[in-house]
Structure 1
Amino acid sequence: MATPQGRAAVTWNRDGSIVEFILDRPPANALGPELIDGLHTAIDYAQAVDAKVIVVASAVDGFFAAGADIKHMSTVDSASFRRYGDALRGALERLGALPVISVAAVDGLALGGGLELAMACTLRVGAARARLGLPEVKLGLIPGAGGTQRLPRLVGRSRALDLMLTGRQVEADEAYWIGLIDRLAEPDTTARATAWQLARELAAASTPAQLAVVRTVDAAYDRPLADGLRYEADQIQDLFEQGEAVEGLRAFIDKRTPEFA
């Protein structure tokens, strides 16, 4: 694994086609302006090196990210509050829109904006001590960086309402059971190590096919079944004509590992 580059609120590692973002803003990785800027810089780097998979992890013990910067929000006027919210939303939406599969490694607290950051990733891995929640109602707010939109898509309306209306935290086992976490790390393994294992699996597959899977599954949430089935048919045809399907099929016949870009 390469040496971390940069020394800011977000640093990064690269191993082949995998880039790891490391949140490093003690004591709790609050998503203040420095960390938001760091995410943009790390995304710039991942795009520059044509990353296939991104892992988002933390260097701060006990925290993935504690949430938005409450101290910052408590000192600003309404215009500055909107600018801060737009900046946070912009970083998470940019991450979520990347044509790259991303994996959040949640080990410790992922609350508020921290959970919204994890939900902006394609997949989430959690360790035993992960605690996840959207406690904004306790501050007189709502999740404002995608939480009200992404959480129901992951866990369903009723469970999303339960979490957001109470502001309670869920432990790793419950998060896995309701679909908020996609993989649980083994008891003696960190979320970061498990995320890297998953990232290597993902990097070996065809990125165009993976992104088509994500698009097609997402389409199931906002299209009638008949429209979704047509969209699925269009996606697989495009992969055959313009993607990596021909190489994958030939490699299968030749009994060799496919050479995906």
Structure 2
Amino acid sequence: MTDDAVSVRDAGPGIRVLTLARPPANALGLPIIDGLNAALDDAGDAKIIVVASEVPGFFAAGADIKHMSGIDAASFTAYGDRLRGVLDRLAAPERVTIAAVDGLALGGGLELAMACTLRVAGADARFGLPEVKLGLIPGAGGTQRLPRLVGRGRALDIMLTARQVPAAEAHAIGLADRLVDAGKAEAAALELAEKLVTLSRPALSAVVRAVDAAFDLPLEQGFRYEVEQVQDLFETGEAPEGLAAFLGKRPPKFA
């Protein structure tokens, strides 16, 4: 499947790669939003999704400023809702999503990367939320997801100064989960995907839900939620197969 702004390919059983392809900077206008939605509609049984870019120097440079500058308040609301909607789909725990970031991930581009479950950064990657320069704030989850990744103080520093965070710093503060050589983010993301795809999908999803709950629930409620998740995996998930495979000293046959 190929869209003008997003190309899609299978990179092995259960792994699908969505490649942003809207020069010059992968602005997150309606073509990319619609392309991502179409790709997710067609994702089928894909367990792992990698989001990458084929535009040199850019993962995604941000929202479509030209589009925003020419619309009224109602259209601005509609555009924001559509952007937030597709990012929420990438953030959903039903599958693991990995952002492969080489080059710039700014504004909505960083919000896209943060919506993914994990982020792999090439050494040339740079991250930022410069919306204050436009008299705006991040509006597609940035003010909520960034503090959860790096803490309040660092998030405020990044957003208030509108600075670009280099890859090494992003990795050190938890904004990037893995740091690799420049130009190798997609290859490293695929290597990670090949490991994750062998694991139990219900268990992967439960890990994401439980970790997210750690930020949303008081500690005692979080403990109870964890118990609910592991009990459900034992009763209705793939835990019986995993336990049997371990005892039988064989690879598990997860769906």
Q: Same fold (TM over 0.5)?
A: yes
Tell me whether 175-184 or 93-102 shows the greater mean CA deviation: 93-102
Which stretches of structure 1, 4 residues or longer, exceed 2 Å deviation after superposition? none
SS state at 1:21 partner: strand
Read off the aligned partner of 1:6 and give its amino acid letter: T
1:6 aligns with 2:2: yes
- 1 CA distance for matches of 2:162 and 2:198? 38
Structure-1 residue corresponding to 2:17: 20
Question: Shift in Å at residue 76 of structure 1?
Answer: 1.2
Read off the aligned partner of 1:8 and give its amino acid letter: D
Percent of aligned pairs with the same amino acid: 66
Question: Shift in Å at residue 6 of structure 1?
Answer: 1.5
SS state at 1:220 partner: helix
Tell me which of 38, 53, 60 is aligned to 1:58. 53
Q: 1:181 to 1:79 in 2, by over 3 A?
A: same
- 1 CA distance for matches of 2:62 and 2:110? 7
User: What are the residue-to-residue correspondences of 1:1-261 with 2, within 5 Å?
Assistant: 5-14=1-10, 15-46=12-43, 49-97=44-92, 99-185=94-180, 187=181, 190-261=184-255
Give the TM-score normalised by structure 2: 0.97
1:62-97: CA deviation from partner (whole Å, max 9, x where unpaired) = 100000001111111111111111111111112212
Read off the aligned partner of 1:258 and give its amino acid letter: P
Unaligned stretches of 5+ in structure 1?
Answer: none
Asked if the contact 2:102–2:182 (Cα under 8 Å) also holds between the matched residues in 1, the reply is: no
Q: 1:188 to 1:62 in 2, by over 3 A?
A: closer
Question: Shift in Å at residue 189 of structure 1?
Answer: 5.7
- 1 CA distance for matches of 2:213 and 2:27? 33
Asked if the contact 2:106–2:130 (Cα under 8 Å) also holds between the matched residues in 1, the reply is: yes
- 2 CA distance for matches of 1:85 and 1:226? 35
Asked if the contact 2:102–2:183 (Cα under 8 Å) also holds between the matched residues in 1, the reply is: no
Q: 1:50 to 1:139 in 2, by over 3 A?
A: same
Question: Shift in Å at residue 7 of structure 1?
Answer: 3.9
SS state at 1:200 partner: helix
Unaligned stretches of 5+ in structure 2?
Answer: none
Read off the aligned partner of 1:80 and give its amino acid letter: S
- 2 CA distance for matches of 1:54 and 1:98? 12
Number of corresponding residues: 254
